[in-house]
Amino acid sequence: MTPRTFAEKIFNAPTGAIIFARPDIILTHDNTSSIYKTFQKMGGNSVADPNQMLIVLDHNAPPADAKLATQYQEIRDIADSQGIKKFYDSGKGICHQIMSYHARPGMLIVGSDSHTSTAGAFNSFATGIDRTESAGIWKRGETWFRVPESIKISLTGKLNKNVFAKDLALWIIGMIGSDGANYMSIEYHGDGVKSLDISDRMTIANLASEMGAKNAVFPYDNILEDFYNEKVNGVWADAGAKYFCEISINLKDVFPVVAAPHNVDNVKSVAEVAGTIVNEGLIGTCTNGRIEDLRVAARILKDNTIKRGFQLHIIPASNKIMLQAIEEGIISIFIKSGANVLTPSCGPCLGTGQGIPANGHTVISTANRNFPGRMGNKEAKIYLASPATVAHSALTGLITDPRKIKGKEKFPYRVAQSKTSEIKYGENRRIEGVWNYADVDNFNTDQMFAGKHTYNVLSSDPAAIMPLLFQDFDPSFSKNVRKDDIIIAGDNFGCGSSREHPSVGLSFAGIKAILVKSVNRIFYRSSINQGLLLIVHKEAVEAYKQGDMVGISFDKGEIQIGSERFYFEPLPQKLKQIIDQKGLVNYMKNM
């Protein structure tokens, strides 16, 4: 038998195959209310299998206004009426931490959140999907998957003191770029894996989404058996399996790094940015809110006081972790240092709840994204770092190396950053029905629809989405977009959160097509689910000049840019049927 990758074994199919499969777990969170409304539009009444469902109220926990509180009650009612037993109410924890109570080796897990990949720490195949697709699985119990190509990352050695898994994860992103693993499965191999505990593995798997990956996975081994306190059997790649590429990293070579504004792959050594003034800090979230992370921060903050005027917010990833931190005296250390300890939730990571930064402030955070506006204020800047770097920086008010002997290293890789991150007020990017964003790479979903609006406006309400579409990126877009307009953009279009508001809004606006150099995996699926045609054609985008006539023939698979013609492969028949029926809702309703 031909040696197979982890993904090929999970789906029992070769790389590139399109298959239908039944997930073991379907994760949803505060978006459950919106998903349920879409499920009903599909003709759904009772979910296909309540035992597949895992619902966690976390993104706005506890809700800060009556509208969100009412949504939370609607979700409680949905869980009760559908017989869903795996339900975790507000304050229990962040969904990816709660998943650690349920994920098992060899499972297939999907979730309406891009960081569902975190569960790869447990030898599961775990991947993010959008809300509409979640609703479709509620109805049918299964969905389609393309078996991804795989990247093998071999780790040797052991991380040095005061260098952490967050540094390693950012290191890899800075090495390959935020789209370097687009639509791929990342496998972690080598002796170095044995030095990484489950918390480390969750951090690394969590950030797979920021490389564009479909999933990341670790082997089932003694570390995993110690976590479960029992013998486990899982799935792992065969020796000799074929990979898209292979990367080797000696963990001893890794040093403390940050992701500088405004993209996760803008990675620099801490030494390069040391001394940068920071006003606020965040320790926690699904990336670094575990007890191991809190212990690191507590050792640094103990018997010390954070700099006057600095705001440090600490958010344990679950109430169990919060209780353990109380019992160990960690919470007392935090409070005595001057930090604020908040309820287990996502909160400031996506710009909801408490902890929103002030205008002009620079934040250093253990979260996973630093796009403009990510924490609820596009006038703030965000650096991403390990809990140790954040804690040390909170004491000084400056980005500070966590090592006793400060380094002088320079990060050895550089990823080109987008030439443009926002369109200035009064600048017109629409000419002859074409929106020209060809100079915009990493055009992310936070720029398209700010996270602070995600739960006040449901994705099932396209009319309410429209006034907010691209609001923080190009304020003229929602006012001037017209039916049959075309959007042209650069690389890694639609990266970031799995929120489907942008694709819902663009479809509702009547966008004829989106033409890009490359696209994020989840956004591509989301565009299909909304009946929105998205074409990847780098040469066509590069040929476009402002004012060129653009024509697209879907039947011929032809793009006309000025006098030049380019060709693209038509969609697979089943996906074309979804497009023809104006999206997955109608497709499911008519099945």
| Domain of residue 96, CATH code | 3.30.499.10
The verdict on residue 540 lying in a domain is yes
Residue pLDDT, tens place only, 312-355: 999 999 999 999 999 999 999 999 999 999 988 887 877 777 88
Distance CA(406)–CA(409), nearest Å, equals 9
For residue 208, the domain's CATH number is 3.40.1060.10
> Where among 252, 267, 291 does a domain terminate?
252
Residues linked to residue 28 through DSSP beta bridges, in sequence order: 55
Same domain membership, residue 141 and residue 153: no
- Cα torsion 431, 433, 438, 439: sign: positive
The verdict on residue 8 lying in a domain is no
Same domain membership, residue 163 and residue 205: yes
Between β-strands 18-21 and 143-146, what pairing exists: parallel, antiparallel or unpaired? antiparallel
The verdict on residue 405 lying in a domain is no
Same domain membership, residue 377 and residue 267: yes
> Where among 354, 378, 396 does a domain terminate?
396
Distance CA(15)–CA(4), nearest Å, equals 9
Residues linked to residue 564 through DSSP beta bridges, in sequence order: 561
Element (H, E) at 38: helix 32-41
The verdict on residue 421 lying in a domain is no
The verdict on residue 406 lying in a domain is no
- Cα torsion 304, 307, 308, 310: sign: negative
Same domain membership, residue 295 and residue 214: no
* Residue numbers of the chain with a pLDDT score lower than 70: 591
CB 46 within 8 Å of CB 82: yes
Distance CA(111)–CA(23), nearest Å, equals 10
| DSSP secondary structure string for all residues of 294-341 | HHHHHHHHTT--PPTT-EEEEE-SBHHHHHHHHHTTHHHHHHHHT-EE
The verdict on residue 50 lying in a domain is yes
> 140 lies in which domain range?
18-146
Q: Residue 22's pLDDT is what? A: 95
| DSSP secondary structure string for all residues of 247-267 | EEEEGGG---EEE-TT-TT-E
Pick the closest to residue 215 from 521, 526, 527, 523 (CA basis): 521
Q: Residue 157's pLDDT is what? A: 96
Same domain membership, residue 55 and residue 42: yes
Residues linked to residue 156 through DSSP beta bridges, in sequence order: 250
Same domain membership, residue 124 and residue 26: yes
Domains in the chain, number: 4
Same domain membership, residue 273 and residue 360: yes
Same domain membership, residue 116 and residue 70: yes
Q: Residue 117's pLDDT is what? A: 95
Pick the closest to residue 452 from 352, 328, 346 (CA basis): 352
Classify residue 576 by burial, with Cβ atoms within 10 Å: 0-12, 13-18, 19+: middle
Same domain membership, residue 389 and residue 272: yes
The verdict on residue 13 lying in a domain is no
Instruction: Give the position of tokens 């991403």.
Output: 384
Between β-strands 430-431 and 534-536, what pairing exists: parallel, antiparallel or unpaired? unpaired
Same domain membership, residue 218 and residue 137: no
Q: Residue 591's pLDDT is what? A: 66
Pull the structure tokens for residue 557: 């698979």
Same domain membership, residue 171 and residue 200: yes
Task: Calculate ∠ Cα 421-425-428, nearest 5°.
Answer: 85
For residue 435, the domain's CATH number is 3.20.19.10
Q: How far is CA 197 from the centre of its chain?
A: 22
Q: How far is CA 462 from the centre of its chain?
A: 22
Distance CA(373)–CA(375), nearest Å, equals 6
3-class state of residue 161 by DSSP: coil
Same domain membership, residue 500 and residue 476: yes
Pick the closest to residue 383 from 487, 234, 262 (CA basis): 262
> Where among 111, 146, 181 does a domain terminate?
146
CB 459 within 8 Å of CB 501: yes
Residue 473 to residues 233, 341, 360, 395, 423, Cα–Cα distance (Å): 48, 32, 18, 34, 6
The verdict on residue 10 lying in a domain is no
pTM of the shown model: 0.89
CB 346 within 8 Å of CB 113: no
Pick the closest to residue 544 from 517, 519, 518, 562 (CA basis): 562
